[in-house]
Amino acid sequence: MSLIGQEEGIEHGTLRGHRQHTRRKVAATEACGCLQAKRADENAKSEARQAGLAPRTGQHKWNGGKYAVGTSRPEANTAIRTPCPTEGCGQQASGRLPQQRGRVRVQVTGSAEPARDYCSGSCATYGIALAELRMDDAA
């Protein structure tokens, strides 16, 4: 039996009640308190993100399991952590050409980031983005 359109049994004044309204396609109102509960939950999550207490899960994955604290702008000469498990991917380039076959060298003119060798095109794209973020303002 479908609960769509049935208002009885909704836990009014709670976030769960707001979800029940949504699933049952019954309009939530200010009088039942479900809209206020939803707004309070969104405000609490927003404040936690602003305070750095609850970073987004994508940010957690991108930083190799470490939460980013403080500014989101990376500084030059910090450790490079590529999302790639390949040995030597993202290492600073030595010599004129890549040492191994299939490596991609990334060097962006005007960047504080030195030339680096990456294992593939997708990792090289990461390197290009990193180098562009670290562009010298004077250049």
Is residue 77 domain-resident? no
Tens of pLDDT, residues 25-84: 888 888 899 999 999 999 988 887 777 666 555 555 555 555 555 545 555 555 556 567
Do 22 and 47 lie in one domain? The reply is yes
Same domain? For 92 and 138 the reply is: yes
The residue segments making up the domain with residue 126 are 85-139
- The larger pLDDT score, comparing residue 59 to residue 100, is at 100
Residue ending a domain, among 72, 94, 120, is: 72
Domain boundary among the residues 32, 49, 72 is at 72
pTM: 0.40
In a domain, 18, yes or no: yes
Query: Is residue 62 domain-resident?
Result: yes
Do 95 and 122 sit in the same domain of this protein? yes
What is the number of structural domains in the chain?
A: 2
φ and ψ of 4, to 5 deg: -60, 125
Residue 139 has pLDDT above 50, yes or no: no
Sheet-wide strand order for 91-92: 91-92, 116-118, 104-106
Whole-number pLDDT of residue 102 = 79
Question: 58 lies in a domain?
Answer: yes
List all residues 6 or more positions away from 64 whose beta carbon is below 8 Å from its beta carbon: 81, 83
